Structure 1
Amino acid sequence: MKITGAEAIIKCLEEQGVDLIFGYPGGAVLPLYDALYGSNITHILPCHEQAATHAADGYARASGKVGVVFATSGPGATNTVTGIANAYMDSVPMVVFTGQVALSLLGKDSFQEVDITGITMPITKHNYIVKDAQRLPNIIREAFNIARSGRPGPVLIDVPKDIQTTLLDYEPVSVATGYESCNIYSKTCMDEDELKANINQAARLLSEANSPVIYAGGGVIISRAYEELKAFAEKLKIPVVSSLMGLGGFPANHPLFLGLVGMHGSRYANYTVSNSDVLIAIGARFSDRVISNVQRFAPNAKIIHIDIDPAEIGKNIRVDVPINGDVKTILKELLDMVPEKAFNGWNKQVQQWREQYRLKTDFGPGRVKPQYIVQKIYELTQGFGIVTTEVGQNQIWAAQYFNYAEPRSFISSGGLGTMGYGLPAAIGAQLARPDRRVINVAGDGSFKMNSNELATAVKYKLPIVEVILNNHALGMVRQWQRLFYQGRFSHTTLGVDTDFVKLAQAHGAEALRITRNEEVEDALRHALSITDRPTLIECDIDNDEKAYPMVAPGAGIDEIIDE
């Protein structure tokens, strides 16, 4: 059939099973928005294009689907850049459609013209500028395949305005949307014989290990390998530590789980890694926030690294046994090859560390404590909430004091560390999972960056709970200034400059302020009882509250600063 390019975009989105997009209209996408008019696809209009990308990111993480964004040319397109980079760093599948000036105006500094494909080339898995309307449907199909296959990530399609209005021949196709492990977009795959030999070597090392540890990353969640990981750890009685992105991939209330490892990892998790003889990294990229001093990270351990992306293996740390492939598939193979083990002296030692160095959990009455707030969120949601976060101390407390029992229940900006991410991501997550309550744990500095998205949550009647841990400062930066810059607080003290309660009320949200631990439970119960609009809780915390434990930059992860 003959349809316009804009109509073909909508048809192709329907082919891909897309029922929700986030976008902001403008001149260069008017034909696309006209084609969207009357469509069955739901469109969410945020206050800013950056928020559209973060919301699509949160939607993708909470649902496992591809997030979709529409933006116009020029500033509309450049406003998506931070969100695209965020998705790229954390391997989130997303397809971003940007409008562009007509082909005849390209390269002429036309009104709202910008080379968005050039700008985003380093932060996308792939990107396109469409110059032949007939190719548009296949480009879209290929873009979705690239976004969700192998190691997922964002793809951008730049569509000139005249391409959107050009008639083309459209033939519908049936689309398979399942997870694909290894394809042409994952660069290279290991030779089959080498892969088999390395899996055998890994099985042998694990069978002979006296003090093994599993380091689980976000790849466990992406590949849906959580059941295999749990069975694998239980069969070998191996303790499990997690990266920030891996939280929820292994049940936090499991006796083998030790929580975060690295800069803000627990002392017992870091000690376990530091004293291991075999470390198996599963879908993790050995970020600098995990390994810190490369020479002192697991110094006596043989390292096995399973990852879908061959570029990650050996990039940041030496690897003794590289295994390039889908985490779920590899774990299934290993599970059949390793013998069952009994609890031993290593497990006893790990348990002793855990008991000796537990995080503080007994918070009495007095000025409100952020750790206590997160604990109470966990208790009142019984662990079945979805927590999004901003970046900084709030992010660390949310990671440490909520026991994530389910995958896709912790949504946070890991690699890029984007302030302002959490609230729009909460919007996307709540739309993806209306059966779960979404709580965004924020700092006051991060909240200010995208506070206008409260209006979006109100508009769509989303019962998000926005918890602001207000220390009237840029808390994590202030903490570093206190510890490493002799207390020179250069431009990190914000003071009492905004009444967040009044701001929320002006947007039409419910809002309240608390100052003491005794008020926390009632405030959270009230917020969770509201189902037709967001609720903001401003929590007045001490501006010198620290996120501990902490490892200083460049130190070994067993050199821990705490209270």
Structure 2
Amino acid sequence: MHLTGAEIVIECLKEQGVDTVFGYPGGAILNVYDALYKHSDEIRHILTSHEQGAAHAADGYARATGKVGVCFATSGPGATNLVTGIATAYMDSIPVVAITCNVGVSLLGKDSFQEIDIAGITMPITKHNYIVKDVSKLAETIRKAFRIAQTGRPGPVLIDIPKDVTGNKTEYKPVKIEPVLPMDPQDICQKDVDTAVAMISKAKRPYIFVGGGAVLSGASGELMEFVNKVDAPVTDSLMGKGAFPGTDSRYTGMLGMHGTKTSNYGVSECDLLIVIGARFSDRVTGNTKKFAKNAKILQFDIDAAEMNKNVLITDGVVGDLKEVLKRVNEKLEQQSHPDWMKKIQEYKEKYPLTYHTDVLTGPFVVEEIYKQTNGDAIIVTEVGQHQMWAAQFYQYTNPRTFLTSGGLGTMGYGLGASLGAKMGCPDKLVVNIAGDGCFRMNMNEIATAVRHQIPVIQVVINNHVLGMVRQWQNLFYEQRYSATVLNDAVDFVKLAEAMGAKGIRVTTQEEFKEAFAEAVKMNAPVVIDCQIDSDDKVWPMVAPGAAISEAFDENDISHS
């Protein structure tokens, strides 16, 4: 077949099984959109309100489905508006292919209208990127991009295509795309597996720490078998939610700055910390010199670069987690640690997560969402206090049901991501939980939800401040609330209605119960504005620079 570059882009997307693309057109990418028009029955295009929303939607689609998310943008500001979304995906190892178009090859490097070196800009935040100046190399490049995005540790790839390349013609031959397989099991060092088994067998007080890699590798079944064999308590990172069921008796809650006291104390007292697909983020470790200071550290990870990067480990196994856990499970004999498990259970009983139950609060909202969805929704969040409450008070029992920006901490991520998640998983209820500060950043995507009839429920935890920053100002900056008070006249209910969605304001627990139940029944875009106190805080907390064993809460402050 003799096709234009634009037609080749669409044919290659079809090869990869792409059914949805998120984007925003412009002059440089017009040829691609013209080709897409002819295939609108095969690939659905979601026109977002802003390119950043398209990047986050592609990311949310990928996280919810495990497939590659795809977004389009035109040259110049269209391309640069994708950057935050690409960086978000990069930090959390999410497979996204971003396709941008640029000015013609002869105009590159001449400061042409809407020209930007997007490949240069995104080099540090992509697994790889390309600028394709020869149409005969376009199909091969797109296929490589999808393979790279999915191979090994996933991540985003960008392809930039000059406009004349999208118009030029070349011979195109369809290719049957083979599924991307995990790392070759032969690459896993058996000696390292044997060392790991020996370390686990000698441990008296093991603790298992689960990160996002366990979600990405689809290792939940192997992880459950491993936990049962080791007989150890389990904690997780923000990205690891759902890989191990939050309802299991061995689960002790999140680890780190806003982790539970049980997890923080337990990890600080264990003699072996088994780290499964986590990268020792500073929000998890606190003071790295004091992190798990009584323990040997055994790390399983697909990326050798993560070994000894942030925390010095004792030993590790490099490989796809699903296969690593299979190997370890085959070799490991049943362990038993009744005294250690009893001690951790006592911690759980002594240090439960609590909140003020007499008024409408963020934790109440999250718990009520959990009850009404029976724990079976996809929960998406923005970044801040509401994000921590969603991690603490919703019990995730399956992977790919908690979507949040962990590494980059992107305010404005959640609404776009929730649209992508709903497009990828139309049979699942999708709820985006936001703070009012975050919601303001990309609330224009409510118009996208209405335009394309994407029934997401947007819950705004509205405290009229930038809550997490205010919490730090309250605790560490002598209550100097510099630029964190949002005391203006913005009305989210009217705003939702102006964009064609249903808007509901609630101020009490009962009103929220009724509003959320109504939103579920409506099966349409709904915004619920939840008015809470400006000084509600996320507890427990670890002060910056402190050890996680120094976690404190409201009771500790009142007694000090």
Letter in 1 for 2:255: V
Question: Residue 204 in 1 paired to residue 195 in 2?
Answer: no
Question: Aligned partners of 1:362 and 1:496: how far apart in 2?
Answer: 27
Query: 1:270/1:463 Cα in 2 relative to 1: closer, same or farther (>3 Å)?
Result: same
Size of the aligned set, in residue pairs, is 552
CA displacement at 1:362 relative to structure 2: 7.2
Question: Aligned partners of 1:527 and 1:363: how far apart in 2?
Answer: 23
* Equivalent residues of 2:204, 2:337 under 8 A apart: no
Find 1:93's aligned residue among 92, 95, 101: 95
Letter in 1 for 2:167: T
Question: Aligned partners of 2:261 and 2:357: how far apart in 1?
Answer: 20
Question: Aligned partners of 1:163 and 1:497: how far apart in 2?
Answer: 49
SS of 2:154's equivalent in the other structure is coil
Query: What residue in structure 2 maps to residue 426 of structure 1?
Result: 418
Question: Aligned partners of 1:522 and 1:419: how far apart in 2?
Answer: 28
Query: What residue in structure 2 maps to residue 439 of structure 1?
Result: 431
Query: What residue in structure 2 maps to residue 492 of structure 1?
Result: 484
SS of 1:246's equivalent in the other structure is coil
Query: After superposition, what is the alpha-carbon deviation per residue over 1:272-324, rounded to whole angstroms, capped at 9, x for unaligned?
Result: 10001011111100000000101111101111111111111110000111211
* Equivalent residues of 1:100, 1:158 under 8 A apart: yes
Root-mean-square deviation (Å): 1.2
CA displacement at 1:177 relative to structure 2: 2.4
Question: Aligned partners of 1:499 and 1:289: how far apart in 2?
Answer: 34
Find 1:455's aligned residue among 418, 442, 447: 447
Find 2:264's aligned residue among 263, 266, 270: 270
Letter in 1 for 2:75: S
Find 1:536's aligned residue among 527, 530, 538: 527
Question: Aligned partners of 2:511 and 2:351: how far apart in 1?
Answer: 29
Query: After superposition, what is the alpha-carbon deviation per residue over 1:225-275, rounded to whole angstroms, capped at 9, x for unaligned?
Result: 000001100122111100000001101000111121000000001111000
SS of 1:550's equivalent in the other structure is coil
Question: Aligned partners of 2:113 and 2:144: how far apart in 1?
Answer: 30
Letter in 2 for 1:200: D
Letter in 2 for 1:61: R
Query: After superposition, what is the alpha-carbon deviation per residue over 1:389-430, rounded to whole angstroms, capped at 9, x for unaligned?
Result: 010001000000000011100000000000000111110011
Letter in 2 for 1:229: L
Query: What residue in structure 1 maps to residue 21 of structure 2?
Result: 21
Query: What residue in structure 1 maps to residue 86 of structure 2?
Result: 84
Query: What residue in structure 1 maps to residue 545 of structure 2?
Result: 554
* Equivalent residues of 1:150, 1:182 under 8 A apart: no
Query: What residue in structure 2 maps to residue 186 of structure 1?
Result: none
CA displacement at 1:180 relative to structure 2: 2.4
Question: Aligned partners of 1:107 and 1:69: how far apart in 2?
Answer: 25
Query: After superposition, what is the alpha-carbon deviation per residue over 1:19-48, rounded to whole angstroms, capped at 9, x for unaligned?
Result: 110011100001111111120111000000
* Equivalent residues of 1:16, 1:177 under 8 A apart: no
CA displacement at 1:369 relative to structure 2: 1.1
Query: After superposition, what is the alpha-carbon deviation per residue over 1:169-201, rounded to whole angstroms, capped at 9, x for unaligned?
Result: 111111012342269xxxxx97x6xx2212111
Query: After superposition, what is the alpha-carbon deviation per residue over 1:74-98, rounded to whole angstroms, capped at 9, x for unaligned?
Result: 0000000000000000000000110
Query: What residue in structure 2 maps to residue 333 of structure 1?
Result: 327
Question: Residue 31 in 1 paired to residue 31 in 2?
Answer: yes
**Aligned sequence identity (%):** 53
Question: Aligned partners of 2:450 and 2:181: how far apart in 1?
Answer: 34
CA displacement at 1:370 relative to structure 2: 0.9
* Equivalent residues of 2:205, 2:337 under 8 A apart: no
Question: Aligned partners of 1:27 and 1:182: how far apart in 2?
Answer: 43
* Equivalent residues of 1:28, 1:100 under 8 A apart: yes
Question: Aligned partners of 1:37 and 1:528: how far apart in 2?
Answer: 33
Letter in 1 for 2:289: Q
* Equivalent residues of 2:147, 2:180 under 8 A apart: no
Query: What residue in structure 1 maps to residue 131 of structure 2?
Result: 129
* Equivalent residues of 2:4, 2:166 under 8 A apart: yes
- Superposition misfits of 4+ residues, deviation over 4 angstroms: none
* Equivalent residues of 1:293, 1:557 under 8 A apart: yes
5+ long unaligned stretches in structure 1: 184-188
- When normalised by structure 1's length, the TM-score is 0.97
Residues 149-188 of structure 1: pairs in structure 2 closer than 5 A: 149-181=151-183
Question: Aligned partners of 2:505 and 2:549: how far apart in 1?
Answer: 39
* Equivalent residues of 1:179, 1:223 under 8 A apart: no
- When normalised by structure 2's length, the TM-score is 0.97
Question: Aligned partners of 1:322 and 1:339: how far apart in 2?
Answer: 19
* Equivalent residues of 2:67, 2:95 under 8 A apart: yes
Question: Residue 103 in 1 paired to residue 127 in 2?
Answer: no
* Equivalent residues of 2:457, 2:526 under 8 A apart: yes
* Equivalent residues of 1:210, 1:346 under 8 A apart: yes
SS of 2:300's equivalent in the other structure is strand
Letter in 2 for 1:280: I
Question: Aligned partners of 1:65 and 1:409: how far apart in 2?
Answer: 14
CA displacement at 1:517 relative to structure 2: 1.7
Letter in 2 for 1:69: C
Query: What residue in structure 1 maps to residue 220 of structure 2?
Result: 226
* Equivalent residues of 2:462, 2:532 under 8 A apart: yes
Query: What residue in structure 1 maps to residue 558 of structure 2?
Result: none
**28-37 or 511-520, larger mean C-alpha shift:** 511-520
